[in-house]
Amino acid sequence: MKFKTSLLTRSLLSLTVGAALVASAGSALAQAKPLAGQTVKMMWIDPLTGLMGPVGTNQYKSWQFFQEKFNASNPAGVKFDVIAVDNKLSPTESLNALKQAVFQNGVAVLRDQELTPEQHIAFAKRWGGIDVNPFFPTNSGWPEIAEVRKAEDQKDNIGGGWHTDHSFDQIPAMGSILVARELPPVGGDTLFSSMGAAFDSLSDGLKQTLSGLRAVHTADHIYQPGGYYSNTDLAGEMTGQELSTRAVHPVVIRHPVTGRRLLYVNGAFTTHFEGWTREESLPLLTYLSQLGSREDFRCRVEWKPGSVAIWDNRATWHLAENDYHGHRRVMHRITLTGDPLAA
Ligand SMILES: O=C(O)CCC(=O)C(=O)O
């Protein structure tokens, strides 16, 4: 599939990392499908409690559960692995297995679901708290659910540049659970990039330098009046323009669960290194943005009706491809509360 650079991509990149990255954003990735011959584990979710577990009764909708692994050494960029969850696991143990898969691999996809908004919310609560997104439309009728939506007549999309969600918060969101509601006939994939693989690829010298740095994150240039969205055809739908955001985080963090070291700056929300001017910061931020979006650190999620993706914001960046003009795409996102970040 040909990569198309959206207006958001262009704006964010020119803001933070410059036009060079646009030119480098080619894409020829493998697709998010289980490998032939592998077993796909069936899981179910309890509509009332949001608990998930192995299928064993007809009373629940089954889950197809596979995880998507980033593989820095594979030029194709993606390796898929179907998790073998033991049928004897309890629902809570199964959910814990899914959580571990997301923490270790960055993103997991569940296929063929029929989650109602209430089930989506109940499932999200099983992961911890919900961070209500103050900027996206919430037209689903549930305040916990942000709508990531593009209409047939709109040209701009939400999330069209590489980013990680809510890095501008003091305690950034752990991740998100994104449910496909309406999909275009083709396109509209989401790309993910592994920040563990990006960090591992650095020289010892740059690892050491970055480990001593902190960076400033804000979304004011995105959501405030005069910011990115005010110049798009999404302007009338976004909210929270009066809000101001700012947070300072280590440039290299440790994953709170796995302990893996991760690069934690992103092209959308990181403006400069603490104690450095923006001009001084830009060359290094540009380099890191180019590195982090390298094809061999990425995987692609192809959406299908009933797909649900769960990702870890600490361990990944993501980008929503804007290559389906003339068609409608509606996704429901619940943002999951995170933990304080530490080096
Ligand atoms: O629509 C998508 O695929 C992802 C949207 C996005 O970037 C986000 O919710 O942060």
Q: What SS3 string covers 78-136?
A: EEEECCCCCCCCCHHHHHHHHHHHHHHHCEEEEECCCCCHHHHHHHHHCCCCEECCCCC
Q: What is the pTM of this model?
A: 0.81
**Of 334, 292, 341, whose CA–CA distance to 130 is shortest?**
334
pLDDT in tens, the chain (343 residues): 232 333 233 222 222 222 222 222 222 222 333 333 333 444 555 545 555 555 443 333 333 445 555 554 544 444 444 454 455 556 677 778 788 888 988 888 877 677 889 888 988 998 999 999 889 888 778 999 999 999 999 999 999 999 999 999 999 999 999 999 999 999 999 988 999 989 999 999 999 999 999 999 999 998 999 988 888 998 888 889 999 999 999 999 999 999 999 999 999 999 999 999 999 999 999 999 999 998 888 888 889 888 888 999 999 999 999 999 999 999 999 999 999 999 9
pLDDT at 113: 73
Extents of the domains making up the chain: 7-27+115-336
**Active-site annotation holder among 131, 156, 165, 296:** 165
**Active-site annotation holder among 111, 163, 261, 272:** 163
All residues at 6 or more sequence positions from 96 whose CB lies less than 8 Å from its CB, including other chains: none
Residues in a beta bridge with 66? 109
> Using alpha carbons only, what angle is made at residue 64 by residues 58 and 70, rounded to the nearest 5 degrees?
165
The Cβ-side half-sphere exposure at 81, using a 13 Å CA radius, reads: 14
**Of 316, 169, 195, whose CA–CA distance to 247 is shortest?**
169
Domain 7-27+115-336 has CATH 3.60.130.10: yes
Residue spans of alpha helices (H) in the chain: 7-12, 20-24, 91-105, 117-125, 195-200, 204-211, 220-223, 278-292
332 is catalytic: no
Q: What gap in Å lies between CA 253 and CA 214, rounded to an integer?
A: 10
d(CA 138, ligand 1 centre) in Å: 14
Using a 10 angstrom Cβ sphere, with 0-12 exposed, 13-18 middle and 19 or more buried, the burial of residue 98 is: buried
163 is catalytic: yes
Q: What gap in Å lies between CA 108 and CA 178, rounded to an integer?
A: 11
Atom of ligand 1 nearest to the CA of 157: 1
d(CA 163, ligand 1 centre) in Å: 9
Atom of ligand 1 nearest to the CA of 331: 1
333 is catalytic: yes
Q: What gap in Å lies between CA 331 and CA 174, rounded to an integer?
A: 19
The binding-site residues of ligand 1, defined as CB within 6 angstroms of any ligand atom, are 148, 158-159, 165, 190, 318, 320, 331, 333
